[in-house]
């Protein structure tokens, strides 16, 4: 993103802006101190007042050096799209490899065009994931198939574990490999948290670029407006929880609103190009009521014995170990083992379990499908733990117990009254897992104690002012009570972007300066103006410094932004308190002691009350209450579990690699003994 206002560039200018703000505040504090000393000539006072104005002018001049990129919008957008394509390829190729079991060998999936009753797109009748290069090419690969579809709207359906996400990722990476200058860049977006009531699809695309790829808002909007972003929407079935009897819900209002938004999506006068994935049964339940119009729907076929044999043989490190199993699949293409291994999930599971050691031929001795599933799942976590890089030394037993404990949060009894099983593990929402009463009580107690930390000063020679101990105790009780509420994460915002907030800031400054002048008639002009100006800035800026985090943020980024918001609000609140209390306390305690004591009081109150960082504070308390059941660095562990192929990302949430793995872990609190 260098040269496009990316992370490094923006951090540099943010640092320059922060240093400039500190310089302005330091010059203002110096002016206030000199004015409080008094004894200045009118000319000296005028020169002194010009100091912060001169510093502010210098800061504005430096910031003005940050010029926007010049050039034709369309030409610039094409250059930005090339940069975005590199970012998407770098990120999604890692996800693609992880879904393939940390390998490059692919299962050559087959799919057929599903007939549609209403406004289907024109598309070939069938295709394959890739062309293997042997013999005449009779079926197109997925990228050729998509480019032959008119209009370019594709719905990928298949059974659980059929390889829908793998097919979508293969298509994305192939489109990027053969991308022309004007072609859109495919961007994958998990559908689980799209708020269709608040966002259109273009707005969702723009938000995804900002939050997942760190693009400036203006550049992201330009890419979307020029049609250079292709939405790849993964997991429509995740917005359609099953009915109480576990069957797909035909109504599924959240999924229906997504389909309606996709049907309203246009580019110019044509239906907007897109790629959508969904489980077959869920999409079939929706189609009597609504379906994606002007789209080709393909259904992924089960993996036949020949393709399974080819995949296992190609991936084997030592082919002799796999020979009995592959020979059996070739000899019995309709047998039990071939049927069980007809999904990419189970094939990849088998390849992972026996990747480095073990005897795949032992699968031939298992009597039925359930026994085979239990056999593979029992060995999956130990195999993944030993195969993946493991710098923290996680043991298979600990990994199993930790992942099992997290499944209890997703169990139907603890999620929704309708009995639907949840799939998303969002870090700041996990705290009820340690017991609601226990976490709330611990949070309140710790907050109470933090607020009381200055109390020992009452017994020191300096002592606290009269009545301060009682005020301190009252504040601690209030803070402890507020800590029992349910927090929601926050994210830093820009108070100058919202016109309403700019008007509020202007009104706040005007009213506060008027009040400051009136207070100055009795308390001194400097103290009154300082108090009024500070209160106006605080009233105008604080509401705009906080906003809701985006739904496309990474899992741990939500907590980091919440903690950053708390730090920003703590600093602003502390500075405001120091500037307000400083002049008044200065008359009693001295010109230096007043401002510094006010600043310390403000920062202490902000940190003690956890202003703006309630969600991250609650998360830390949850980890303290879960010490024997979960690792303290839970986010680090879950990130490792993603790289090991046990979990996957879904926006700001973690999900188990497969629903079958989630169900099995929930039913097995302890790792089964291996023979």
Question: What confidence tens digit (pLDDT) does each residue in 202-249 have?
Answer: 999 998 888 778 788 888 888 999 999 999 998 888 777 666 656 666
**Portion of the chain with pLDDT greater than 70, in percent:** 65
Domains of the chain, by residue range, sit at: 73-300, 304-365, 446-621
pLDDT tens for 483-511 read 787 777 665 555 555 555 556 555 655 55
Show the 3-state SS of 399-458. Answer: HHHHHHHHHHHHCHHHCCCCCCCCCCECHHHCHHHHCHHHHHHHHHHHHHHHHCCCHHHH
Determine the pLDDT at residue 558. 75
Q: Centre a 10 Å sphere on the Cβ of residue 65 and count the other Cβ atoms it contains.
A: 8
Question: For residue 4, what pLDDT band results from cuts at 50, 70 and 90?
Answer: very low
Determine the pLDDT at residue 261. 92
Does residue 468 or residue 645 have the better pLDDT?
A: 645
| Range in 179-193, 397-411, 447-461 with the lowest mean pLDDT | 447-461
Indicate if the pLDDT at residue 328 is higher than 80: yes
d(CA 427, CA 424): 10
Determine the pLDDT at residue 415. 42
Determine the pLDDT at residue 417. 36
Does residue 33 or residue 230 have the better pLDDT?
A: 230
CATH tag for 73-300 (out of 1.10.10, 3.30.720, 3.40.1350, 3.40.50): 3.40.50
**Angle at CA of residue 539, ends 538 and 540, nearest 5°:** 90
pLDDT tens for 118-138 read 888 999 999 999 886 554 568
**Against a cut of 0.75, is the pTM above it?**
no
On whether the CB atoms of residues 540 and 501 are closer than 8 A, the answer is yes
On whether the CB atoms of residues 628 and 586 are closer than 8 A, the answer is no
User: Any long-range contacts for 69-76 (C-beta under 8 Å, 24+ apart)?
Assistant: 69/3, 69/4, 69/5, 73/222, 73/226, 74/226, 76/222
Determine the pLDDT at residue 416. 42
């Amino acid at each position: 993103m260098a040269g496009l206002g990316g992370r490094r560039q923006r951090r540099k200018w943010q640092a320059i802006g922060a240093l400039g703000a500190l310089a302005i505040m330091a010059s203002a504090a110096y002016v206030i101190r000199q004015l409080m000393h008094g004894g200045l000539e009118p000319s000296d006072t005028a020169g002194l007042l010009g100091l912060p104005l001169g510093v502010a002018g210098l800061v504005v001049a430096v910031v003005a050096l940050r010029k926007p990129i010049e050039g034709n919008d369309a030409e610039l957008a094409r250059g930005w799209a090339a940069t975005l394509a590199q970012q998407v390829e770098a990120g999604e190729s890692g996800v693609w490899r992880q879904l393939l079991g940390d390998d490059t060998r692919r299962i050559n999936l087959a799919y057929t065009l599903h007939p549609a009753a209403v406004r289907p797109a024109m598309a070939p009748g069938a295709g394959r994931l890739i062309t293997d290069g042997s013999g005449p090419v009779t079926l197109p690969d997925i990228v050729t198939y998509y480019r032959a579809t008119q209009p370019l709207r594709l719905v990928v359906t298949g059974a659980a574990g059929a390889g829908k996400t793998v097919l979508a990722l293969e298509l994305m990476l192939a489109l990027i490999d053969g991308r022309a200058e004007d072609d859109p860049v495919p961007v994958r977006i998990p559908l689980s948290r799209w708020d269709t009531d608040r966002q259109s699809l273009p707005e969702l695309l723009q938000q995804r670029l900002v939050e997942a790829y760190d693009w400036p808002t203006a550049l992201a909007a330009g890419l979307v407006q020029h049609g250079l972003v292709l939405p790849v929407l993964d997991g429509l079935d995740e917005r359609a929880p099953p009915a109480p009897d576990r069957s797909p819900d035909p109504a599924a209002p959240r999924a229906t609103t997504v389909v309606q938004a996709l049907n309203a999506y246009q580019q110019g006068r044509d239906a907007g190009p897109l790629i959508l994935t969904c489980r077959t049964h869920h999409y079939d339940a929706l189609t009597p009521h609504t379906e994606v119009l002007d789209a080709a729907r393909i259904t992924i076929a089960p993996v036949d014995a020949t393709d399974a044999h080819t995949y296992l043989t190609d991936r084997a490190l030592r082919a002799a170990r796999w020979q009995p199993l592959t020979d059996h699949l070739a000899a019995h293409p309709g047998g039990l083992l071939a049927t069980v291994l007809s999904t990419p999930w189970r094939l990849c599971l088998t390849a992972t379990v026996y990747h480095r050691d073990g005897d795949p031929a032992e699968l031939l001795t298992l009597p039925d499908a359930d026994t085979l599933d239990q056999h593979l799942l029992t060995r999956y976590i130990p195999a993944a733990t030993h195969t993946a890089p493991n710098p923290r030394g996680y043991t298979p037993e600990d990994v199993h117990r930790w992942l099992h404990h997290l499944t209890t949060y997703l169990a139907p009894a603890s999620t929704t009254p309708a009995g639907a099983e949840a799939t998303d593990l969002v870090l700041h929402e996990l705290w009820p897992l340690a017991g609601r009463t226990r976490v709330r009580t611990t949070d309140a107690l710790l907050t109470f104690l933090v607020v009381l930390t200055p109390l020992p000063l009452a017994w020191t020679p300096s002592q606290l002012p009269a009545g301060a101990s009682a005020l301190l105790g009252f504040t601690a009780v209030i803070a402890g009570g507020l800590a029992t509420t349910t927090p929601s994460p926050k994210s830093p915002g820009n108070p100058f972007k919202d016109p309403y907030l700019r008007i509020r800031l202007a009104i706040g400054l005007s009213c506060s300066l008027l009040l400051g002048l009136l207070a100055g008639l009795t308390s001194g002009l400097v103290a009154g103006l300082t108090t009024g100006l500070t209160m106006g800035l605080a009233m105008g800026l604080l509401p705009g410094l906080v906003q809701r985090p985006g739904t496309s943020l990474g899992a741990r980024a939500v907590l980091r932004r919440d903690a950053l918001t708390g730090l920003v609000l703590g600093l602003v609140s502390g500075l405001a308190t120091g500037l307000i209390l400083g002049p008044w306390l200065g008359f009693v305690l001295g010109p230096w002691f007043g401002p510094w004591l006010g600043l310390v009081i403000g920062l202490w109150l902000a940190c003690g009350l956890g202003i703006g960082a309630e969600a991250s504070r609650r998360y830390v308390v949850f980890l303290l209450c879960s010490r024997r059941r979960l690792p303290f660095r839970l986010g680090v562990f879950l990130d490792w579990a993603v790289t090991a192929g046990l979990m996957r990302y879904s926006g700001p949430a973690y999900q188990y690699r497969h629903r079958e793995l989630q169900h099995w872990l929930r039913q097995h609190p302890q790792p089964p003994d291996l023979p």
